[in-house]
Structure 1
């Protein structure tokens, strides 16, 4: 038996308490009637879903079944990128080949069905909660085209949404398998495999982990006989995973391995090379093998990864304990991926571009991350059966609105952010909510967040842009000013078939308590998912500083020509868009780099970068007008157009006023104007 076989056998033995789940999978795999098409594994973070998938894959191979594993963190979340990732994993995609989106779908389905023609094929999808933007497409289009000889295993923190169970086509083909915490006998067996036999220690492992697998694996390192001295009294916080992670970091890795663990936790996927780059020294093979032996580290296609919950807990610990060190590691990660991105085809959405999007953010974004809970609650889609419940939520909000203050803090820059909303302003997002029309669009447009008692606490409406929804978007108060300004040729970009999309319109986001961190966490996670599709995003939030600052921090541009007053008939309201398609991707990444304050470190070239493709005839600055300006000068000019003073521009771009004045002097010379007024007039011609 070779090393790999020995390692897999050990991992199988350490996967305790999951015998029933493995047997259930084997039953579905062997079912000749193919009565179930999907096995849905779900459970809380750290409950062992990914390791169970590894075991199911091993069992499938032992029975001569083919497997294909997809990790949602390794590709952009669009239908085309999903299909492309499958073709690449199957090794049937050749670099440089170009497919139309519809051809890509047909090619992907065809290759999967070909592979399943002669043998059983198991398709594993892990971390499914990240694929919210693909859920409707997978349910209504992709999975329905797959051969009955393909078994789909979907693993995530939450069960598949109600929409799956309401669908006549899926209701009887899904086997839901909840994963609970481990019972005492499984904990005891795991302790024995870890060479822990003392009953007091095993009992303490059970009491403190409550059978949670990730916590259990960490406690197996940290609980020593010395912990049992005294009367056994522990503080309540000692039972929490963050405390266990903090304790583990102090006691287990040692001074030589702790920096490796921390660096690996900053990266979503790591290997010996990028760890060496982050730590500014050569990581030896011996050190690397010590790192990957930890139970929370898994091998994936692109290297290795730390369990997401462990990664989030370590990052949270570092943000509070060593914020400057954490920021430095993130900066080094950006350097690493940006260097690789600049060597690739800039218009291609490479893995490096995906990783850069994950890392970049200014002080406000860091403040949000510092505030957010590590485990977001999920939004769930609703349908017409929830109409009365939705109306009750809206009535309650209108009956007793109250003013709110959102307080944020960025420990890296010691900056505080205070945003105030009046009672009336908290209701603005509900002003144009046409729920019946939104229900009629389908596509899981309306989504809600729920409290522990099941009541709605937040509402979101997100509309895919395609030929079916475009007529509605041409009429809607928040989107019509944008779409009606486009030329026929420009509009054609968004007129795609209804089974796909050209982007998303973020229609409405409302919450019953703007001071509730759990609600902001859930909303942030949902928006994060949309941004990781890499698709065109459009929105027109209520005209208040909080929403404006948040969208600018996320790298959105302002469609100046689409400003409207449709919220209240008086207040000018901005329309924001984010375009990372094709040639616009480098410009977007450079903008985020600059907002993050990393442009000087990376010595970005001050060359003209194509601006987002919007109609030049509607009062925007054309690429021709601005071609002589550097990227930084264009940013300054855009802020002048917004009416900001030199001091406000300096604060927004993290520059000194002297530097802003130098940029303005250069802009005036290049644009052949003498002052700000002349500049604005020339830009609006």
Structure 2
């Protein structure tokens, strides 16, 4: 075989799932004389070592000399590096026999090898050998045969002189490793004989495509049987704790760990945010050390910990120090409460609701961080785009179907399922249409578009004023509420358009009911209604939406129940009155609930309850019956009873009364 000649034998091993593009980069790297260094980088557990092994097998197929080094296998001095490299060379060529070979002698051996084969030195965990980074670059590589190629693999991309000096930057090809997408997750799990779609969907939500998380969770799924309902508590928490230990390997000080814990408690952060939460000035160098971690990503105006890692760190903190977790949580809530009262900005109300920790609100409105690149905007309906409204309705009527979606909360181990039947969706399209929009005013309706102009959803939120209140009083769904008002209350809402004091959330619908990104974008747009100082009214027969509005503190209006969706589909009506500048009082009522809930969660931690058991404990303490708990959590009542039995056993009690007494005693 001539030097660098490609072996023409057919390949017996394809590229690993999710790494086809990376293999193409590797093949190009082998062939390109100008590229001497391939820099592969990515978070812990993303598969760097696995990929190096795959590269090694592919190189063997080609007849290359592939020398795979791990910086964890030798002391980080120039001499030990050379000694270890000489030892590995013995698999390909007679090594230098001296106990302490010189760098010159080993490089001569590499040059000798490179005359007949492609030589590739792959160094794993490169970030661990920072002590000899300069020596490796300026002495070893500079004086080695240029034909010898190097793969540098680590958690972070090469920095400093590697990229600042053109002589080095021109020789480097970077290869960041990404998480698997949905198709790759499906293929990966099928290799593990996991084929049930509900299981695959649950594992996708839980892992977000992180390879190690997917491997561990897949093993857990098989060990615990079919996983259609997944998130079964202890085993999943163990997966998260295992991942946390892997990710935190790169943390080298307690001071940095304290910053990580605080940063994991917030959705986004900067130096000021962390200083406020920790009630101390966070030094610049500590903050830079935090933002240099592989799992911290720079966004437009702030930083963020990757969501899977963020949740894993929070689960770990709850296990290790529930008191510290609760203390940090209260600091975060207080910070955003002050900001919201001061700024009344939509972004701040979103962050306030995210951080008060209601699992349903977090899951629905903050299902994932905007990292997919999909961006949406809301377009007000007017005459110029009314044809798009007509087209939306025509498309929905031609394709009436069941609507399903599920939202997973990793920290609490809960899945919330949205379901609307075919009959419900058909009835809704009969009750409301383009004529309804004209009757309520075009300003009631918005279209959700992406930046290609494609429509993904539509919302109708009717402002209540003298131009709409008569129609609202006559139309199905809204009439039950407006007809039960006293004359004084009805007259109070019958005011000029520019003095609107109430909004009726009437309609939210999507081209694709399973489009999480579009659903979140449309519902996220509802949050600013809480800043209007108005009354917000909503009516629905769907348990999912009923639970959601109650999470926001809406009160049910029993007199406004109705059966406009059919006699077997009773709708409940809710209102939230934020008139007379009641925002601060409203937020205080929500945070009081959080404080009380934290007592119950602390009791759950002391009893070593799973996430689902802890949720049921909280509902028991709030006085919910088994049937009410089952309805709230969208599970069967028999499932609740089984959880109750396990909770009683862990608490050492025999019934609900004894459990409540024990938890109350712990809270005092």
Report the TM-score when normalising by structure 2: 0.47
Higher relative CO (Cα under 8 Å, sequence separation at least 6) belongs to: 1
TM-score w.r.t. length of structure 1: 0.46
